[in-house]
Amino acid sequence: MMRVGIIGAMDVEVTSIKERMAIDKIEQVGNNTYCLGKIGDTEVVVARCGIGKVNAAICATTMCVKYDITHILNTGIAGSLDNQINIGDIVVSTDAIYHDFSVEPFGYPAGMVPGRKTISFTADETLRKLVVESIQKVAPEIQVFEGRVASGDIFVGQKEKKDWIIQNFDATCCEMEGCAIAHVATDFAVPFVIVRAISDKADEESTVSYEEFEAQAAEHCANLVFQVLQSL
C-alpha cells in the first residue's frame, strides 16, 4: 500500500494540506508534529520540518524509520535560477544537489559528498512523471518545469551567488531543504520528488518578492500537491 510522506519547511507550506486531509492521528516526535491520515484513497503522513537541511533530514529520517512511508514528496517554495522560470511557476525535480557542500581540497568536486558515487540525488522517474502529468491535468494554466534543485543553508539573494550556483551546478531553482530530504530518501531507498513553486528570482530583489509572494506561492504549491495526491 502506498503511504506518502509530505514534508514542507514552513507551516504555510503544509497547512492547507492538513486542513483538507482526513486526519486519523497526530503524533509528536522530537520537535516535529506528524499528521497521519488520507488524501483520497492515499495514506499520507504530513509534517512541517523547519527551515534548513538538518531539520529536513531529521523529519525525513523519522518518516522513513517510524512511519514506513513508501514515497516522499517535498513541497514548498524556491528561488528561480532560470530566466524562463518566473514567480508562480512550478519546478519538479529531476535531481538535487548541495550547493554549499565542499571538500574540494581533497579532490572532490563542489557539492560531492565523500563516499557517494554521484554528486546528485536522482528523483524517482515514475513519481516525477506522475506529478508533472497530474499538475498539467488539474492546472493546465500553470507553467511546469523539470530540473535540478540546489539546496543549501543560505537564502540566495545576491546575483553573484546565483550565477555561481548556475555555473557550477546547472540548477533550475534553489532552496534550503530538498537535497537533504533527497539524501535521506536515497539512503532508505524511498522514491522521492521535490515540488517547488517559485517565490523569487534569487537576486537582489528576492527579499522583496519573497515577502510578497511567499504565502501565495507556498499555498499554490500545496494546493497542487493535494490535487495530485487525490488523483493517485
Q: Which residues are catalytic?
A: 13, 200
Q: Quick one: cell of 133?
A: 502529468
Per-residue burial over 189-210, b = 16 or more CB atoms within 10 Å of its CB, e = otherwise: ebbbbbbbbbbbbbbeebeebb
Cα-Cα-Cα-Cα dihedral of 59, 94, 109, 60, to 10°? 10
Q: Quick one: cell of 39?
A: 488524501
- Interatomic CA distance for residues 47 and 151, integer angstroms: 19
Angle between helices 178-187 and 53-66 (to 10 degrees): 30
Q: Quick one: cell of 103?
A: 571538500
